[in-house]
Amino acid sequence: METPFLIAFFPHESGNDLETFSLFRIIEVLQASYKCGHIQIADHISFFITILARFKVSPEKFSPGTENEGKNSTHKTFKAITSVICSCVSQMGDNALVHQMIHKTILYEMSLKPALENACAMLKMLVLLNFRPTRLLDDNVFSLGNSLWSYLMDAAYYNPELSDVSTSCNQMEIYEYLLVPCLILFDRSDRLLTLVLNLMGSSIFETNSVVSSLHDTQYGCARPGSIDAIASTLIFMHKEVKFQRILSSHKSEIRQILQNIFCLQSSSELNVFNRLKTTTGRLHYWSCDDFRTS
């Protein structure tokens, strides 16, 4: 919940209305005031996370191959702001209260499905603070898992593995930038990865269509179909050498995803199935009997 303190600085929920220098200066002054005991910790944390969640990054950054690519500095500004905020938060102490308040606020903001760039910034903050999902209660783990599943499906638009997406020199760089925080969180919590993989598997029959989302409006792109998004995400994860060790213990969940795709039995899904089976098979060594129709 936003406090009057936040509303005073963000009446329109947008940090972009302020000059960049002014915003950095405000952060500096408020951090000094907090250290002197003039600002309550809850307000200070809420202020920082509100910036990360509501700062409007220009859509041009997420339009690879356009003539505006690289010319808009909003993305770089937001990355710099994110770094400064993470540095400030890391100086607030390593006590359980600070971490609990930050985790709770970020989980709430993530549940509101912010834009990809904003969600990524909040995930990066969790990673920087050495956040471990194993500390969360069951309901919070489920909430984070749902947010990450939706985030991964939207981020898949930028994965060059999707044949219907135009490629550019920095498209994979954008995709890796979006996925790295998720992979780190999965590495820290086997339970969280299991939950997200199960959500992928169960969603195949439920959402096998192009789904609109908040990100579609902001970035002018269509969210890929569920199966394409899931397949491209898993292919990327299996190609990450450092992540293969983690995936090796999730053979049953990944096999179920493949089985669900195989059961659809259409030519397009079978093409995706064969590509995914080939990539994942290098790690899991599927047998001829692993996938059967009922």
pLDDT digit string (tens) for 215-241? 444 433 444 578 889 999 999 999 988
* pLDDT at residue 224, as a whole number: 52
* pLDDT tops 90 at residue 286: no
Output the pLDDT for position 171. 77
Q: Which range among 50-59, 146-155, 176-185 shows the weakest confidence by mean pLDDT?
A: 50-59
Mean pLDDT of 205-217: 48
Q: What is the pLDDT of residues 245-255, one digit of tens each?
A: 999 999 999 99
96 or 285, which is more confident? 285
Rounded CA separation 225/207 (Å): 8
Q: Classify residue 79 by its DSSP letter.
A: H
What angle (nearest 5°) sits at the alpha carbon of residue 44, between those of residues 43 and 45? Answer: 95
Average pLDDT of the residues of the chain: 79
Cα(165)–Cα(188) distance, rounded to whole angstroms? 31
Determine the pLDDT at residue 68: 42
**What one-character-per-residue DSSP string does 37-56 give?**
T-S-HHHHHHHHHHHHHH--
What average pLDDT does the segment 135-155 reach? 88
**What's the alpha-carbon Rg for the chain, to the nearest Å?**
20
Compute the average pLDDT of residues 119-129: 91
- The rounded percent of the chain whose pLDDT value lies above 90 is 38
Q: Are 233 and 156 in contact (CB under 8 A)?
A: yes
Q: Which of 92, 6, 104 minimizes the C-alpha distance to 41?
A: 92
CA pair distance 156, 170, nearest whole angstrom: 14
Give Dmax (Cα) for the chain.
67
Return the residue matching tokens 């959500």: 199
Q: Where are the domains of the chain?
A: 1-131, 136-294
To the question of pTM greater than 0.85 for the whole model, the response is no
HEC string of 150-167 equals HHHHHHHHHCCCCCCCCC
Residue 16 confidence (pLDDT): 46
Model confidence over 8-42: pLDDT tens digits?
Answer: 444 344 444 456 778 888 999 999 999 999 999 88
What local confidence, expressed as pLDDT, does residue 226 receive?
Answer: 82
In the numeric block, which tokens belong to residue 235?
Answer: 């292919």
Bigger pLDDT: 119 vs 137: 119
CA angle 222, 223, 228 (to 5 degrees): 120
The pLDDT value recorded for residue 50 is 92
Q: Which of 49-53, 129-133, 135-139, 212-216 has maximum average pLDDT? A: 49-53
